[in-house]
Chain A
């Protein structure tokens, strides 16, 4: 077993099985770190809690809902919507966050009255919003407040409102992933099937596991609309509460982010017979194959091929411009969960970089299986690392860039490793063909920013060169490139706009006549 022991964790022998280095000929029967176990008592972890997973990750990208935390205000602050999951209804869910502000006296005497008062106040303050999600927290779960009963009371008093209760207190699982599970199952138990949606197309999907980071969902929605596909709901980025109540009427569940949302997808398959198709919106090949697969399922593959041809012709030369300049750069791919496998192979193939390490803070072993499979030999895979292990890994691997969250990102900057925000992005969206070029552009900008030339100098004592002026990123990146690449007129830097989302919202789409004969021709 190729376990990797960190020097800094030698005093915690249990940690030894949470990191592996993939060796020659290793496969998943010999090379897989432990994962998604209870955090080892006494060690430091960067994980979020189950409440955070339910509210911050899954619930709050729902756009037309008052999201209220029943607990101390600090819980809400810590899950304030910082992931930039924007919406097309003026970002209601980003502008406001609600909490019942539970204090010590409520812990002693109960906080149910406080909850009811807060719910009614919130609906009065925002009379245009008739939907609410209540998130239980550790404090109010421990004192036994019955949020469901209060929600029922309010719905009787205010018949035009609908409330969803999510019982996922922080202690409800080893990490935020426990909260993902709970909110998925709670939603399908409480809400799916309670509203009949209007069906407008022969081809109807739920888009599951998409959180609209910087507009990712709207980019993908554009492709689906161009194919004449009705997206009944998106679970949950830019998703509407009532649309998500009608998920049971889709013909196909298109799943992007196992395993934060595969539970609802699998339950929809089990309970309603809606099949699940796994897709990927990152990378030209993976995205193209995803559109083809959906096209094949509905018998409209020609529509997918048209989009792929148009987009590839436009964006491939720009992706290749960056690929030429990123070849061989070492990357640490340290997101919280799914992106380690979404990106691991695609960035190596299509951007020429080498992934030297993957990690996950809350991912299951299933996430690591995909990540380890998609990395090459020598890659270090770490489950639930602490800060010292992260630092030690960076010193060992010496990456040119790291894709991670804010906390490890700031740590990496201190050891002169530029970082890209893998959770909220830098200048996304990164999905879609154009988005993939924007991602490459952001990696390029991170690696070749001239700021790194100065960042390790101690200005109080180190010599600062004054015999040359400021270097540009192009001077750094093109230094060793062949002349024909530097002079190429075919390849070019990214030419898109800063805001690529606004234009999509008013776009008109072709109308396809409806037909009931949508079985694929190749099938018998």
Chain B
């Protein structure tokens, strides 16, 4: 028989706002320019950031961008589940593209790269979740 389904983590799926304004609003023009380049690439070429629900997007953004930051800093990535492996695949693709298209990122100190990627994560969370005009993002179920 087909599996009976129960949503295990309903609480996690309830919409919780993290950002109330654009996290780039107070950063320097240079940082904004860099984030803009990274953001533009993934808006044009990637699909993973557009999952249909806000809670799902939040996990995707953190998972993939977190691993991308590790790869950009030449750190090993720990894969413990098939879902991690999917994040890793998209992170590898992003790592390669960023290194090729934006060589300045390879010359930055590792801590700065991590900070930049955290800011990119915040910017995506704002644009695609907390500041988004998409009315369906707060739906708990798929």
Q: In whole angstroms, what is the CA distance A280 to B45 when docked? A: 10
Q: Is A275 a contact partner of B86 (Cβ separation < 8 A)?
A: yes
Q: Which residue of A lies closest to B123 (CB)?
A: A27
Q: In whole angstroms, what is the CA distance A523 to B85 when docked? A: 9
Query: Cβ of B109 < 8 Å from any Cβ of A?
Result: no
Q: In whole angstroms, what is the CA distance A289 to B126 when docked? A: 27
Q: Which residue of B lies closest to A372 (CB)?
A: B43
Query: Cβ of B29 < 8 Å from any Cβ of A?
Result: no
Q: Is A365 a contact partner of B82 (Cβ separation < 8 A)?
A: no
Q: Is B44 a contact partner of A289 (Cβ separation < 8 A)?
A: no
Please name all residues of chain B whose beta carbon is closer than 8 Å to the beta carbon of A366 when the two chains form the complex.
Answer: 50, 52, 134, 136
Query: Cβ of B1 < 8 Å from any Cβ of A?
Result: yes
Please name all residues of chain A whose beta carbon is closer than 8 Å to the beta carbon of B50 when the two chains form the complex.
Answer: 258, 366, 369-370
Q: In whole angstroms, what is the CA distance A365 to B22 when docked? A: 21
Q: Is B92 a contact partner of A296 (Cβ separation < 8 A)?
A: yes
Please name all residues of chain B whose beta carbon is closer than 8 Å to the beta carbon of A27 when the two chains form the complex.
Answer: 127
Shortest B13–chain A CB gap in Å is 11
Q: Is B82 a contact partner of A293 (Cβ separation < 8 A)?
A: no
Query: Cβ of B108 < 8 Å from any Cβ of A?
Result: no
Count of residues in B whose CB is under 8 Å from the partner chain: 39
Q: Is B5 a contact partner of A267 (Cβ separation < 8 A)?
A: yes
Q: Is A523 a contact partner of B142 (Cβ separation < 8 A)?
A: no
Q: In whole angstroms, what is the CA distance A280 to B3 when docked? A: 30
Q: Is B85 a contact partner of A297 (Cβ separation < 8 A)?
A: yes
Query: Cβ of B93 < 8 Å from any Cβ of A?
Result: yes
Count of residues in A whose CB is under 8 Å from the partner chain: 54
Q: In whole angstroms, what is the CA distance A370 to B47 when docked? A: 8
Q: In whole angstroms, what is the CA distance A523 to B76 when docked? A: 7
Shortest A232–chain B CB gap in Å is 15
Query: Cβ of B77 < 8 Å from any Cβ of A?
Result: yes
Q: Which residue of B lies closest to A276 (CB)?
A: B86
Query: Cβ of A15 < 8 Å from any Cβ of B?
Result: no
Q: Is A365 a contact partner of B45 (Cβ separation < 8 A)?
A: no
Given the interface pairs A27-B127, A280-B47, A366-B134, the reply to whether A271 lies near B86 with Cβ below 8 Å is: no
Q: Is A275 a contact partner of B85 (Cβ separation < 8 A)?
A: yes
- Indicate with 1 or 0, residue by residue over A270-310, a CB within 8 angstroms of chain B CB atoms: 11111111101000011001001100110000000000000
Please name all residues of chain A whose beta carbon is closer than 8 Å to the beta carbon of B127 when the two chains form the complex.
Answer: 27-29
Please name all residues of chain B whose beta carbon is closer than 8 Å to the beta carbon of A248 when the two chains form the complex.
Answer: 3
**Out of B1, B93, B134, which one reaches A28, CB within 8 Å?**
B134
11 inter-chain pairs at a CB distance below 8 angstroms, sorted by A residue, are: A189-B5, A190-B2, A262-B51, A275-B85, A293-B93, A345-B45, A365-B133, A373-B44, A374-B43, A520-B85, A524-B77
With contacts A29-B127, A30-B133 known, what are 20 further pairs, Cβ within 8 A?
A29-B22, A32-B134, A189-B2, A189-B5, A193-B1, A248-B3, A266-B51, A270-B7, A270-B142, A278-B47, A289-B93, A293-B93, A364-B136, A365-B134, A365-B136, A366-B52, A370-B50, A373-B43, A520-B88, A524-B77
Q: Please report A residues at the B interface, Cβ cutoff 8 Å.
A: 27-30, 32, 34, 36, 188-194, 248, 251-252, 258-259, 262-263, 266-267, 269-278, 280, 285-286, 289, 292-293, 296-297, 345, 364-366, 369-370, 373-374, 519-520, 522-524
